[in-house]
Structure 1
Amino acid sequence: MKELTLYLVTGRYDFDDESFLNVIKIACENGVTLVQLREKEASTHDFYRLAQKVKELTDRFDVPLIINDRVDICLAVDAAGVHIGDDELPITVVRNLIGKDKLLGVSAKDVDRAKEAEEAGADYLGVGAIYLTKTKDDPQPTSIETLKKIVSAVDIPVVAIGGLKEANIDSLRHTGIAGISVVSELMLTEDVAQKAQRLRALTEEIVASHN
């Protein structure tokens, strides 16, 4: 799934809507292959309205939009899919709700969860956090060795997540991942276009190193 190569998970930080959408636009123009809209604090109404605006952008650049956790928002805006953690609805329930044609991503930190997710209908896994990150409440990192074990244990694609930056993603060579997921490395960089281009090129090299 080439859509998973450079996977942007959004962060609102202190952006107003215009600035937030502009970062996503530039990222999509310059190599991001998938966008996951993550809104932990927004009301349902605000999340829905923002998702509509983001989907207009991602559709323009033919980039799939994934909604974090919220199946209702995913269906309401006809996003490409939804990504869930281990504290959300059961995977099989989410699959039944969204149908077989939408993407279902599931977070996994160990081999057992990864296998469970695959059997329950996940299309891909997000594995991490590989490095410490302020984005996630759980500070316990997932080792590169565990990442490799998960990749070997399942047949669905695996995306590495958590604290990934241009300076440290080279450590993911020969792990078998399908792509990387970043948040602050793109959302907070001074030059989104250049950063996205460099990350895309580096990630393609890393993915190719498995072959």
Structure 2
Amino acid sequence: MNQQLIKTTIKQDFLRDFSDIKLYVIISSNLVKKPVLTTLEDVIQGGADIVQLREKTMPDSTFLTLAKEFKKITFQSKTLFIVNDRAEIAKKADADGLHIGQSDINISAARKIIGYSKIVGISTHTIVQAREAQREGADYISVGPIFYTGTKDYEPPVGLDYLKQVKREITIPFVAIGGINLENINDILNAGGSCLAICSAIICSDTIVQTTRSFKTQLIQYSLSLKSKHL
């Protein structure tokens, strides 16, 4: 199988099997307690389905070196690897996709850089932004921050009502994000968020593998309970 076909298959599998993707972990080297690559290995061991490398201030050359290491580890474990914000880094590291914010480059420009076989996601904070992302061809959106988060303390929480609105109206995959922890996870699940993006609650934990596994277990159990209700 040639490389282009492999890349296209990754995206097709992502879109087709998104209901099986539960846990999306965001890793930033300025937040981790352990070495960043050890943190990556731990979250994968704990059951992360997607890993995003988010480095807002790291120089490009350092970021690229780290991204290439992430690619090696995630490729071996068959974990999807997303780069935040920097399309050129995503391309050079051969990441599976790119995640952009509302103030970053647009979806069309991102695809021209990283290629049309790659996954492109975008952050949304309002239903207008979610509708626009869907129209412009985003592969997925993030919805949030649902609750207050120190990771993005400049963005006010959007609350559960926006998540419910996305669940009702948006047809592309979506990921709930922002201040989610093991205490409020059920609120997210009950509002319709079946795929969660977690950062601090996992990577700042003293027991990353166990904490990741706890999130994943709850997500799987909730999914199974929904399926049993429809039998």
TM-score w.r.t. the length of structure 2 is: 0.85
For the pair 1:91 / 2:107, whether they are aligned, the reply is yes
User: 1:159 aligns to what?
Assistant: 175
For the pair 1:10 / 2:27, whether they are aligned, the reply is yes
8 Å Cα contact 1:157/1:177 also seen in 2: no
Distance in structure 2 (CA, Å) of the matches to 1:209 and 1:82: 32
**AA paired with 2:25?**
L
Distance in structure 2 (CA, Å) of the matches to 1:15 and 1:155: 34
CA deviation after TM superposition for structure 1 residue 70, in Å = 0.7
Q: Which has the larger radius of gyration?
A: 2
Structure 2: gaps (5+ residues): 1-17
Distance in structure 2 (CA, Å) of the matches to 1:2 and 1:30: 19
8 Å Cα contact 2:99/2:120 also seen in 1: yes
99-108 or 5-14: bigger deviation: 5-14
CA RMSD of aligned residues (A): 1.8
**AA paired with 1:115?**
R
User: 2:193 aligns to what?
Assistant: 177
User: 1:26 aligns to what?
Assistant: 42
User: 1:126 aligns to what?
Assistant: 142
Distance in structure 1 (CA, Å) of the matches to 2:42 and 2:69: 15
Distance in structure 1 (CA, Å) of the matches to 2:129 and 2:53: 23
1:95–1:14: structure 2 CA closer, same or farther, 3 Å change rule? closer
TM-score w.r.t. the length of structure 1 is: 0.93
Structure 1: gaps (5+ residues): none
Identity score, percent = 30
Per-residue CA deviation, residues 77-108 of structure 1 (Å, 9 max, x unaligned), is 11000000000111222123323211111101
Distance in structure 2 (CA, Å) of the matches to 1:130 and 1:157: 17
Q: Decide which structure has greater helix share.
A: 2
Per-residue CA deviation, residues 123-180 of structure 1 (Å, 9 max, x unaligned), is 1111111111111142410110111102222111111101111111110123332400
User: 2:129 aligns to what?
Assistant: 113
**AA paired with 2:193?**
I
State how many pairs are aligned.
Answer: 210
CA deviation after TM superposition for structure 1 residue 210, in Å = 5.5
Distance in structure 2 (CA, Å) of the matches to 1:96 and 1:120: 14
Distance in structure 1 (CA, Å) of the matches to 2:148 and 2:100: 20
Distance in structure 2 (CA, Å) of the matches to 1:204 and 1:134: 27
CA deviation after TM superposition for structure 1 residue 20, in Å = 1.2
41-50 or 186-195: bigger deviation: 186-195
8 Å Cα contact 1:95/1:121 also seen in 2: no
